[in-house]
């Protein structure tokens, strides 16, 4: 499964794990030439690591010629200049030797090592023909939430793609999008399958919001400013709350967050804003909870049934 997964208990550094997995995703076509990679902050938030670590990984791959970067445009995959056959064999031998030493050190027998190599080779055969799955939506933060849920349900990587970038991903095999954008995506995806889904807010969040009095303030912290309107609208439409919503985004800086925290009677925050917000909270802070849009169970079931394993 071609998803970025970091193991904090690994002897290999987080940065090295990220670099190796990105190399693999590029090599197997998960990211094609000219495809944009997630921003350093976006990927850092998704993996719960520092954006500096992501930037270091991107810069390493840029030095290797796998990525290119432009100010204001982020990092994109470059056309790769292949190594010569002798260089490929030499570098590959170094990796195999190091891996064999590690496996032998773990106590594996020759037969067990051979079995492992055969098993992993089979997995690579499947990875080489992996389908391209994308989640398309207008709000990057919400789209990333949905893409992660779809990836888990399908046990396949689903890449979040903004509607403004969708024209660069019309080679996708499957596209998933909220129903109100289904027609638009269908028109632009000539050869792939497009499936819609519906989302909802967690019932626990709606319960707490519905219990607020109109004189009480609801605080909302998001990663991106564009996430505020759809989350606020969903909260109001699904409850009778008619009070003030005080909202702020990490995108605009953190210096204004204490004011929101101080005024809120209930503070909600998205998963992508959690890492920056929690250090600012203490025992005197208002009650707080994580809020995110959830892809409905029946939508996930329908999509899983439609997409081959």
- Residue 164's CATH number: 3.40.50.2300
pLDDT, position 72: 74
Contact 74, 39 (CB under 8 A): yes
pLDDT for 82 equals 59
The reply to whether 69 and 95 lie within a common domain is: no
Question: Domain check: are 244 and 110 in the same one?
Answer: no
Domain shared by 19 and 36, yes or no: yes
- Position 128 scores a pLDDT of 47
Q: Do 61 and 76 sit in the same domain of this protein?
A: yes
Handedness of CA 273, 279, 280, 283 (dihedral sign): positive
Q: What is the span of the domain harbouring residue 94?
A: 87-127
What are the average pLDDT values for consecutive 10-residue runs of the chain, which has 309 residues? 68 88 81 84 85 92 88 81 71 84 88 83 57 91 93 88 86 92 88 90 96 96 94 96 95 89 94 88 85 95 89
Predicted local distance difference test score (pLDDT) of residue 132:
85
pLDDT score at 81: 64
Q: pTM value?
A: 0.62
The total of structural domains in the chain comes to 4
**Residue corresponding to tokens 């197997």:** 28
Q: How far apart are CA 234 and CA 206, in angstroms?
A: 9
- Selection from 26, 25, 16, 39 nearest residue 66 by Cα: 26
């Amino acid at each position: 499964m071609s998803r970025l997964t970091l193991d904090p208990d690994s002897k290999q550094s987080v940065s090295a794990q990220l670099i190796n997995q990105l190399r693999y995703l590029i090599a197997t076509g998960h990211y094609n030439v000219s495809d944009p990679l997630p921003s350093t902050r976006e990927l850092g938030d998704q993996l719960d690591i520092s954006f500096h670590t992501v930037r270091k990984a991107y810069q390493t791959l840029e030095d290797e010629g796998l990525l290119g970067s432009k100010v204001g445009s982020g990092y994109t995959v470059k056309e790769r200049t292949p190594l010569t056959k002798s260089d490929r064999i030499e570098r590959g031998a170094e990796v195999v030797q190091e891996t064999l030493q590690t496996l032998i050190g773990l106590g594996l027998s020759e037969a067990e090592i051979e079995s492992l190599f055969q098993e992993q080779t089979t997995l690579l055969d499947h990875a080489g023909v992996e389908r391209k799955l994308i989640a398309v939506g207008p709000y990057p933060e919400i789209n990333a939430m949905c893409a992660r849920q779809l990836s888990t349900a399908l046990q396949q990587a689903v890449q979040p793609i903004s509607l403004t970038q969708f024209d660069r991903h019309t080679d996708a095999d499957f596209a998933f999008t909220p129903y109100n954008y289904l027609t638009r995506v269908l028109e632009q995806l000539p050869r792939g399958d497009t499936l819609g889904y519906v989302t909802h807010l967690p019932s626990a969040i709606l319960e707490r919001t519905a219990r607020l009095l109109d004189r009480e303030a609801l605080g909302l912290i998001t990663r991106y400013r564009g996430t505020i309107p759809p989350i606020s609208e969903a909260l109001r439409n699904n409850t009778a709350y008619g009070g003030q919503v005080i909202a702020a985004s990490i995108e605009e800086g953190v210096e204004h967050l204490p004011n929101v925290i101080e005024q809120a009677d209930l503070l909600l925050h998205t998963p992508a804003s959690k890492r920056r917000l929690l250090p600012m909270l203490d025992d005197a802070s208002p009650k707080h909870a994580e809020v995110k849009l959830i892809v409905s169970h029946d939508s996930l079931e329908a999509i899983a049934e439609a997409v081959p394993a």
